[in-house]
Amino acid sequence: MSEYQKYLDSAISELRRGTLVLGVLSALDKPMYGYSLIQVLHSKGFLIDQSTLYPLLRRLEKQEFLKSDWEIEDSRPRKYYVLSESGRKFLADLIGEWKSNIKIINSLLD
């Protein structure tokens, strides 16, 4: 892979980086487990890998923005995550920041 491509990939990954939390939290309005979350987000064009999502979910739970429950009734054990109250507020705050950022960047790009 060319140096150029390497740097571009890296910059693209940096671009996505901040939006990861946004994408994940916004999807967890309703309870969902990790593996299915990957597929749901994927189907909407939001690509996220296992190795990115699982650590992120754990971190967000530690920070108390997500609650989790193991469902062992299903065909196989699944850990369902959902927004906590605090997480709901956090998401709202982040969305505000995101929208403000978009305006600023778009004005720079004109």
Tell the smallest beta-carbon distance from residue 51 to its own copies (Å). 18
Binding pattern for the stretch 22-61 against its own copies, x by CB under 8 A and - elsewhere: xx--xx-------------x--xxx---------------
Q: Would you give the DSSP letter of residue 77?
A: -
Q: How far apart are CA 34 and CA 26, in angstroms?
A: 14
Tell me if 76 contacts its own copies by CB under 8 A: no
**Please, which residue, 22 or 82, has the CB nearer to its own copies?**
22
How many other C-beta atoms lie within 10 A of the C-beta of residue 65? Answer: 23
Q: Does 90 bind DNA (CB under 7 A)?
A: no
CA distance 5 to 90: 35
CB 24 within 8 A of CB 56: yes
Contact call for residues 31 and 80 (beta carbons, < 8 A): yes
Site for its own copies, rule CB under 8 A: 3-4, 7-8, 11-12, 14-19, 21-23, 26-27, 41, 44-46, 63, 65, 86, 90, 93-95, 97-98, 101-105, 107-109
